[in-house]
Amino acid sequence: MSELVFDHVTVRFRHHTAVDDVSLVVRSGTTHGLVGESGSGKSTLARVAVGLERADLGTVRLDGVDLGRAARARRKVQMIFQDPFAALDPRMPVGASVAEGLLATDRKWSRADRATRVRELLDLVHIDPARASERPARFSGGQRQRLTIARALAAEPAVLVADEITSALDVSVQGVVLNLLRELQAELDLTMLFISHNLAVVRYVSDDVTVLRGGRVVEQGATDAVLADPADPYTRELLRSIPVLGRPLDLEA
């Protein structure tokens, strides 16, 4: 069991309310999609979950434990960042970066165990383990994103937060990363909060979906239900804006 609950979370930056009374539940073993445009507060919500930002009101709970108070439990929620070029230390061999994830397990790892585990993780994300000693500069964007996924998995997280992880990637590479996430989901029974501005991508990976606008939840529910029959005009506007192959874009206001 690993259930992540946002309970009436509000985050304010000075006079601006970035997240306004948001409640949502990431059910154990499922992927919850969080959709919204720039400024909708979706990234702020992610940063609150992992402790990079503090909630002014409300709580984030993992299996009932308030993450605002328990630093150790917070390590059970790990984040994959948007920009794979900034998320890896350029001067650290990628194997060492992945091994850094093992810090969060609170266990002592012998040198040999650590090396074995790093090899397993690299294998898991389809990166040749023989390349563990190379620097990030030798890897492409998609490969780097897979390395950051491996690092997050090394922490044995209860919940993964993926913040716009494919928006910096080519569409073809995006496919690979999405496939990997689905594969890992099936193998490891991951619980995941998947954040994106791309509705089609969210639809492809998520079981549930929450649509955010201006820091507020405008619509929430099972992905199929919400996207097949959106109740909120904003969700309909989002759906209408997605380019569809072979159909002229609807450019009218």
Partner 1 sequence: MLRTFRSPQGVAVLVGLLVVVLATALGPTFFGDAATTRDIANRQAPASLGHLFGTDPLGRDLLARTVVATRLSVLLTLGAVGISVGGGVVLGVIAAVLPRFLRRIVTAFIDILLSFPWLLLALFFSVIWGATSTGAMLAIGFAGIPVFARLVSTLASSVANTDYVHAARLLGSSPLRTATRHVLPNILPPMIVNTAAHASVTLLSFAALSFLGLGVQAPEYDWGRLLNEGSKQIYVEPMAAIGPGIAIVLTGVLFSLLGELLSESGPRRVRAARPAEVAEATTNDENAVVDVERLRISFRSDDGSLTERVHGVDLRIAPGEVVGIVGESGSGKSVTAMAVAGLLGPEALVESERLRFRGIDMRTRPSAAERRTLGLEQAMIFQDPLSSLNPALTVGRQLTEASEVHAGQKRGAATKRALEAMALVRIPEPLQRIRQLPHEFSGGMRQRAMIAMGLMGSPRLIIADEPTTALDVTVQRQVLRALADARERTGAAILLISHDIALVSGFCDRVVVMRDGAIVEQLAVGDLDKAEHPYTRGLIDCVPDMTTDRDRPLPVIGVAAAEEVPV
* DSSP letter string, 135-149: -GGGS-HHHHHHHHH
Q: Distance between CA 215 and CA 11 in Å, rounded?
A: 9
* Minimal distance, residue 110 CB to partner 1, in Å: 18
Is residue 235 at the binding interface for partner 1, with CB under 8 A as the rule?
Answer: no
Nearer to partner 1, 23 or 179 (CB): 179
Nearer to partner 1, 8 or 19 (CB): 19
Residue ranges of E strands in 164-243: 191-196, 208-213, 216-222
* Minimal distance, residue 193 CB to partner 1, in Å: 14
Q: Comparing C-alpha atoms, which of 19, 3, 22, 9 is closest to residue 220?
A: 22
Is residue 126 at the binding interface for partner 1, with CB under 8 A as the rule?
Answer: yes
Nearer to partner 1, 22 or 127 (CB): 127
Q: Which of 57, 137, 222, 242 binds partner 1 (CB under 8 A)?
A: 242
Nearer to partner 1, 23 or 106 (CB): 106
Is residue 229 at the binding interface for partner 1, with CB under 8 A as the rule?
Answer: no
* Minimal distance, residue 59 CB to partner 1, in Å: 19
Amino acid letter, 227: L
SS3 for 62?
A: strand
CA distances from 82 to 213, 215, 228 (A): 20, 20, 28
Q: Give the footprint of partner 1 on residues 80-119 (CB under 8 A).
A: 81, 83, 86-92, 97, 100-101, 103-104, 106
Per-residue binding string, partner 1, 189-228, x by CB under 8 A, is --------xxxxx-xx----------------------x-
Strand order of the β-sheet with 16-26 is 16-26, 4-13, 57-62, 65-66
Nearer to partner 1, 23 or 128 (CB): 128
Q: Comparing C-alpha atoms, which of 133, 129, 140, 135 is closest to residue 176?
A: 140
